[in-house]
Structures are given as structure tokens and as C-alpha cells.
Structure 1
Amino acid sequence: MANQPVIFIHGLWLHASSWQPWIDLFTAEGYAPVAPLWPGEKDTVAETRAHPDDVANFGIDEVTEHFAKIIEAMDIPPVIIGHSFGGLITEKLLGQGYGNSGVAIDPAQIKGVLPLPFRQLKSSFPVLDNPANIHKPIALTYEQFKFGFANQLTDEEAKELYDRWTVPSTVRPIFQAAGANFSLHSQAAVDTKNGDRGPLLLIAGGEDNTVPEVTTDATLKLYRDSNAVTELITFRDRGHSLVIDHGWRDVATEVLVWLGQQGLED
């Protein structure tokens, strides 16, 4: 896979630099990875925290188009790997014909996913309880991060990750995903029937409060009408922090193994 580009797409509330351990590992394995910033995001966590208004009010389509332009500038179609809302964007891009394969880790719910567990509602409530939040940059409190991301971690590790990686975020995508099944032209819609797309791997965390396992299982079922490869791996004891916590390498290794099985061109 020498020089095969990889584009990492983070989700809400984490900075792009949180992918750095993955970038180092994928580089060592011969890939050419990058983790671009979201619209309005600054080069560092500190700068992004200092300019929260710059990240506000971007929706799913705007963010998807942002990454599509980055991919269009690449000489070789990349592997697209996303976490949380980055996973949803990965699905959208792959369905639109971008990339040669995709990995959606704990992907936010797309249009057509019906299960809505209480813990998922509880995770989103600090945003959805006030409709005016749709226009604002929102930062998680430590308690919200602990419940939504780090429920499987010690307080010590959770606090370290919170201090190191979290940033304010646009929350418009959360409102769009929450109302997706009531909107004819929802931005959370994905072309799950596309049989010409590259292979897709979905990854679920069995103890994820933000995107519960049942949500990812339901996502997989929406791909049943596509002939393209769609597979699911579940890490039973992992929460939403699985891409940044002490066990990130286990997840990354499974992704590397899966990519190696897809017969992608160098």
C-alpha cells in the first residue's frame, strides 16, 4: 500500500490533531495519511478554543463538501476513515463515489436509522434541549465528555483526554441527524444502495453512549440493498473514546488488517 493516501475525519468536539497517533502508525505501515481541519477549525487545540465562533453553524453538507474538495485535489483516491460525525461524512463521501474504501467508526446516525436508545438521547440532550444552540459553538463540560465519550475510562484518563483534545464545535449536524427521519431531503441521508462504491467497514463500541451499538447495527442493515462490501466489527467493551484512548491501537490494527484484505491498488 505504498503511498496510498488516507484521509482521517474527526467528529464533533475533538481536534484534528487527535488523529496523530493513527497518522504515525499508518505512516509506518507505508500509507500517506492526513487529518484535515474542519471548516473554521484552527491548527491547534488552543487556537480553536480561543476562536469558538469560527467553527459555529456548519452543517453536514458544508462539511462533506469541504472534505470532498480536499479529496478531489488528491492524485489517488484515498481511504477515508472517520469517527462519529466524521463517520457519517465518510459514509456520505463513499456513497457519492469518493475514495477507494471507507471506515466509519461509531458513525453518527444516518437517515433511516430508527433506534434511539435513552443513553443516546441523554448524550445529546445538552445540545438539543435548546433550539437556539443550532447557531452556536458548543463546548462539552468534563461531565458531559465523561458520559458521552469516556464512560469506560478511569477519571484520570478521561480528564487527560478532555484537557488534551476537546474543542468547541458546531452542533448543527446533531440537529440535522436528530430530525433526519422527518425531513424529505435530510443532509444526514446517505446513498446506501450504491453498489459501485468502495468497500465500507463499520466499527461499533459495545458500551458507546453517544452512538450505541444498536445504532451502528441498524446502519449496517440499511446497506443490505448494495452489492458493495459492507462489514461490521464491534469492540464489546469500548466507548465513544475508542479512537483516542489507551486502546486506540487495537482499533487501528483491526482497520489496517481489514484494509489489507480489500485488495486495494497501490
Structure 2
Amino acid sequence: MYLSKTIVFITGAFVTHKSWDPWAAYFKTKGYTCLVPPWPYKDGTVHELRNRQPNDKDLAGLRLSQLIDHYGDIIKSLPEKPIVIGHSLGGLIAQVLINRDLVSAGVAIHSVPPKGVFSFEWPFLKSIWKPLGYFTSVKKTHLMSLNEWKHAFTNGMTAEEQLLSYEENAIPESKRVLRDALSSAAKIDFNKVHQPLLFITGSTDHITPNSLNYENYIKYDKNHSFTDYKEFAGKNHFVIGLSTWHDEADYILSWLDILSHSEKK
């Protein structure tokens, strides 16, 4: 196994890819080449993307399979298989890319689960019901309200922190992409041999509860592939934007360092 020094950061739903900028800058200081590509139709500022709401037909028509292929094509254009680090829906995409043997290692942070892994916890159901929008038109995108954001992403933070994070990060989303996360587009072969995969979760996450991430983790066959799990106490779904994001970043760096040393033995 060869562990790349290139990292592709994969953004989740509802947030700008710019939320990864501090991470990319930090990982670059550790010797990594970092790429933070936006989703299709999301290469704009938060203000620009919100101004297209709700009639952004291009974004509204985006499907999960297209999104996965978008990142797959970026990865295939690189000289070597990179490491991928994905948050939320980006964590699901990271899992699919690992399943397709396109990367040298992957990290799924507070990941949306693959098809067949589900939670019936009330905070989870409350968080996803409006964004899925089953009684609304898929021709229109969905922008979380501030109250939705407070529950799904920033529970436990001060009102001032919640408002600032919403104004700086929250953008409209495709309902089709979200619904596709429950479809065959999100299917994983858990028994397939795969490159190292780390799950990171938080104890106070509403939209992807730690119990859901743990169920996702235990689905994988551990007999032939390295799959790891780490839970951080007191972390909500806004984990990559919290002031404590170095906790997760440094853990990932240590994990990658262990992999690098193990491959040299």
C-alpha cells in the first residue's frame, strides 16, 4: 500500500466548500498537497448561491451519482491515488470512492451513512425531514432556515455563534442529492477489500448521530481491511467549523502518520 501526500477534501450538503479552507491551510503546513473542489453549480460565494434560491435549476437537478462521478473524475486526473477526507454527505462520497478503489486512504467525518444504515432517533428524523422535502417540488432547492441550522448543525452553541456560522456557511441544496442518499447510488459493498478508512463522530451530532456512524462502521468486514472509529465528546455537526476543529485534524494526522510508518515496515 502506498499512502499519498495529496488530500482531496469533500464538502457535505448545505455548506460552502470554503469551510475547508482552514483545514487545507493546516494540512499544507504538515507537508500535504490539498485540493478543495466545490460541488458542481456551487462554485460561488455564499451570497451568490443564496441569491439563486430557490430557482437554481442546475443545482436542483444535481444527482448523487453525478456528484460522486464529479469527485471521481477529479481524483482520476491526479498522478496518484489521493487521501480523501469528507464531512457529512462528503463522508458518504468518501466511502463510495474507497469502495471503488480510487483512493489510498479515507476519512469520513460525521458521515451520512450508505444505503441500508438508518436511524430512528428523533433528532436525526427532525433534521432531515424538511431538507428531503417529500411534499415539495424537487425543481426547487432547499435552504435551511436559521432554526433548522441551529438544530441540525449548531446545537449547543451560543445564539451569536449560530447566527454567524449560518451567515458564513449555509447555502441552498439539491433535494434530489439528499434523497439519493437513500437509494442504490449510496450502496456500499461492506465485504469488499478496501484501503484504510477512519470514521470520526461526535457525541452531540443531531443530523448524523454517533450511534448511526458506529452502525455504519461495524458494517465493514474487519478481517481483511483496516477500518477505524473515533468518537469525540461534545462535538456537533458543525465539527469542521468549530473552534476546536484541530482536535479532529490532529487525530487524522496522527492516524495517517501511523499508516505511513506501518507501510514502511
State the identity as a percent.
29
d(CA) in 2 for partners of 1:240 and 1:55?
Answer: 23
In the TM superposition, what whole-angstrom CA distance separates every residue of 1:116-164 from its partner, at most 9, and x where no partner exists? 2111100011123534343321111111001000002111111111111
Partner of 1:43: 44
Contact 2:94–2:107 (CA under 8 A) maintained in structure 1: yes
TM-score under structure 1 normalisation? 0.91
1:207 is aligned to 204
Query: Does structure 1 conserve the Cα–Cα contact (< 8 Å) formed by 2:150 and 2:162?
Result: yes
Aligned AA for 1:59? R
The aligned amino acid for 2:150 is K
Instruction: Report the CA distance between 1:191 and its aligned residue.
Output: 2.4
Report the counterpart of residue 124 of structure 2 in structure 1.
Answer: 120
Q: 1:214-253 maps to which residues of 2 (within 5 A)? A: 214-224=211-221, 227-253=224-250
CA offset digits 1:164-209 (Å, max 9, x no partner): 111111122322234x4xxxxx1110122221x2100011111110
The answer on 1:171 being equivalent to 2:175 is yes
Flag the 1:141–1:27 CA change in 2: closer, same or farther, 3 A: same
Name which of 185, 192, 205 aligns with 2:190.
Answer: 192
Deviation at residue 57 of structure 1 after TM alignment: 2.4
Distance in 2, Cα, partners of 1:128 & 1:74: 34
- Equivalent residues in 2 for 1:58-137, closer than 5 Å: 58-137=62-141
Q: Using a 3 Å threshold, how does the CA distance of structure 1 residues 44 and 129 change in structure 2: closer, same or farther?
A: closer
Matching of residues 21-60 of structure 1 within 5 Å: 21-52=22-53, 53=56, 54-60=58-64
Q: Which amino acid aligns with 1:194?
A: K
- Report if aligned partners of 1:205, 1:236 keep a CA contact under 8 Å in 2: yes
Taking the aligned partners of 2:212 and 2:3, their CA distance within structure 1 comes to 35
1:11 corresponds to: 12
Q: From the superposition, tell whether residues 261 and 57 of structure 1 become closer, same or farther in structure 2 (CA, over 3 Å).
A: same
Instruction: Indicate conservation of the 8 Å contact 1:161/1:245, yes or no.
Output: no
User: Aligned partner of 2:204: which letter?
Assistant: E
CA contact (8 A) 1:127 1:133 kept: no
Listed as ranges, the gaps of 5+ residues in structure 1 are 181-185
How many residue pairs align between the two structures? 259
Distance 1:218 1:168 in 2: 29
- Structure 1 segments, 4+ long, off by >6 Å, are none
Report the residue type matching 1:248 in the other structure.
W
In 1: Cα distance, 2:172 partner to 2:188 partner: 26
5+ unaligned residues in a row in structure 2: which ranges? none
- Matches of 1:98 and 1:219 in 2, distance apart? 20
Given residue 109 of structure 1, which amino acid in structure 2 is its aligned partner?
A: P
